[in-house]
C-alpha cells in the first residue's frame, strides 16, 4: 500500500501537494486510474483513484473513507529535552512516530543543551515516518516549552518523571496502568535539576526508573515509547 499525506480530505476529491505529487507520479510512476491511499494525519484514511496524474498537483477521487483508522486506546505524550546533537532528536522522532505517539513536547530545562529547533523539519520527518509505518495519525509537535509549564499544565492521565538518581523511584512497568493516558518527562543529558524534580513531585508526578542503566536522552524517551505501546 502506498500512503500519501494531504491536509484536506473533506470533499470527494483530494489534491496532493507538489512534493507528494512528484513522488507519486515521477518516482512511483503512477498514472490516472491507479489506486493510492491518502491520510490527513487526523485519523482519516481514504482509498482513492487518480484522475489527474499531474506531477505538480496530482488529483484523486475518494472511493472509500475510513474514520479513526486503527486508533489506539490511549494517549501518549512524550516530553523530552532536545539533545545537543540534533540528529539524535530526529532519530527519536522518526522511531517514536513509527511505534506510536500522540504528542511530543521539547522541554527547556535547567541543564538543557539545546533550546532552538527547526520545527518545520521535525514535522516533515514525522510525516515521512507516519507514511512509512502506514499510520493515519500525525502526532502534535509543540514548540520548545519550559518544563515548568508542562508540569503545570492539566493532563487527563498518569504523569511520570524519569530521572537517574533517587531512592523513591518506581519501575515504569510497575507504575503504569495499561489503557491509561500517559505523560512522561525525560530530561537532558545532565538530568533534571533537583528543583525541577521537586516541582514535578509536588505536582503529583510519579518518579520512575527505566532500568538499571544510564540511558541517553533519546534512548530513554524511545524506551518509554516502546514500553507504553507494548503495555497496551
Query: 22 and 95 share a domain?
Result: no
Residue 136 banded pLDDT, cuts 50, 70, 90: very high
Asked whether residue 125 is assigned to any structural domain, the reply reads: yes
Query: 81 and 43 share a domain?
Result: no
Locus of grid cell 494517549: 75
Say what the pLDDT of residue 129 is.
96
Q: Which one, of 230, 226, 225, 222, lies nearest residue 178 by Cα?
A: 230
Residue 201 banded pLDDT, cuts 50, 70, 90: very high
Query: 12 and 122 share a domain?
Result: no
Query: 115 and 222 share a domain?
Result: yes
Q: What is the mean pLDDT of the chain?
A: 93
Asked whether residue 107 is assigned to any structural domain, the reply reads: yes
**Number of structural domains found in the chain:** 2
Query: 37 and 145 share a domain?
Result: no
Average pLDDT, integer, range 135-140: 95
Mapped onto helix, strand or coil, the DSSP state of residue 131 is: helix
Asked whether residue 14 is assigned to any structural domain, the reply reads: yes
Does the CA dihedral 160-209-180-92 come out positive or negative? Answer: positive
List, in order, residues 6 or more apart from 149 with CB less than 8 Å away. Answer: none
Query: 165 and 54 share a domain?
Result: no
Query: 105 and 192 share a domain?
Result: yes
Average pLDDT, integer, range 24-37: 94
50-70 confidence digits (pLDDT tens): 999 999 999 999 999 999 998
* Last-in-domain residue among 66, 84, 107: 66
Asked whether residue 190 is assigned to any structural domain, the reply reads: yes
Say what the pLDDT of residue 111 is.
84
Say if pTM beats, i.e. exceeds, 0.85: yes
Q: What is the DSSP string of 15-55?
A: E--HHHHHIIIIIS---TT-EEEEE-SBS-EEEEEEEE--S
- Biggest CA–CA distance in the chain, Å, is 64
* Last-in-domain residue among 66, 97, 112: 66
Say what the pLDDT of residue 2 is.
86
Q: Is the pLDDT of residue 167 over 80?
A: no
- Angle at 103 (CA atoms; ends 18, 191), nearest 5 degrees: 120
Which CATH number goes with the domain that contains 158? Answer: 3.40.1280.10
Asked whether residue 71 is assigned to any structural domain, the reply reads: no
* Residue 54: other Cβ atoms inside 10 A: 15
Domain that holds residue 47: 3-66
Query: 99 and 209 share a domain?
Result: yes
DSSP designation for 137: B
% of the chain beyond a pLDDT of 70: 100
Average pLDDT, integer, range 90-112: 94
Q: Which one, of 145, 72, 149, 90, lies nearest residue 112 by Cα?
A: 145
Amino acid at each position: 500500500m502506498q500512503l500519501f499525506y494531504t491536509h484536506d480530505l473533506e470533499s470527494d476529491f483530494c489534491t496532493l501537494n507538489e512534493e507528494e505529487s512528484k513522488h507519486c507520479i515521477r518516482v512511483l510512476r503512477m498514472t490516472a486510474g491507479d489506486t493510492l491511499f491518502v491520510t490527513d494525519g487526523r485519523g482519516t484514511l481514504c482509498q482513492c483513484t487518480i484522475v489527474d496524474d499531474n506531477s505538480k498537483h496530482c488529483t484523486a477521487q475518494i472511493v472509500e473513507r475510513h474514520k479513526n483508522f486503527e486508533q489506539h486506546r490511549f494517549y501518549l505524550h512524550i516530553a523530552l529535552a532536545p539533545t545537543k546533537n540534533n540528529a539524535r532528536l530526529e532519530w527519536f522522532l522518526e522511531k517514536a512516530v513509527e511505534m506510536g505517539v500522540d504528542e511530543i513536547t521539547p522541554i527547556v530545562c535547567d541543564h538543557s543543551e539545546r533550546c532552538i529547533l527547526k520545527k518545520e523539519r521535525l514535522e516533515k520527518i514525522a510525516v515521512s515516518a507516519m507514511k512509512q509505518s502506514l499510520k493515519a495519525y500525525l502526532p502534535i509537535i509543540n514548540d520548545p516549552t519550559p518544563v515548568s509549564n508542562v508540569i503545570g499544565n492539566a493532563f487527563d492521565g498518569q504523569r511520570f518523571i524519569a530521572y537517574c538518581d533517587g531512592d523513591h523511584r518506581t519501575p515504569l512497568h510497575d507504575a503504569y496502568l495499561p489503557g491509561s493516558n500517559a505523560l512522561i518527562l525525560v530530561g537532558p543529558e545532565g538530568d533534571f535539576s533537583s528543583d525541577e524534580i521537586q516541582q514535578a513531585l509536588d505536582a503529583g508526578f510519579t518518579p520512575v526508573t527505566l532500568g538499571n542503566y544510564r540511558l541517553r536522552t533519546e534512548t530513554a524517551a524511545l524506551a518509554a515509547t516502546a514500553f507504553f505501546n507494548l503495555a497496551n
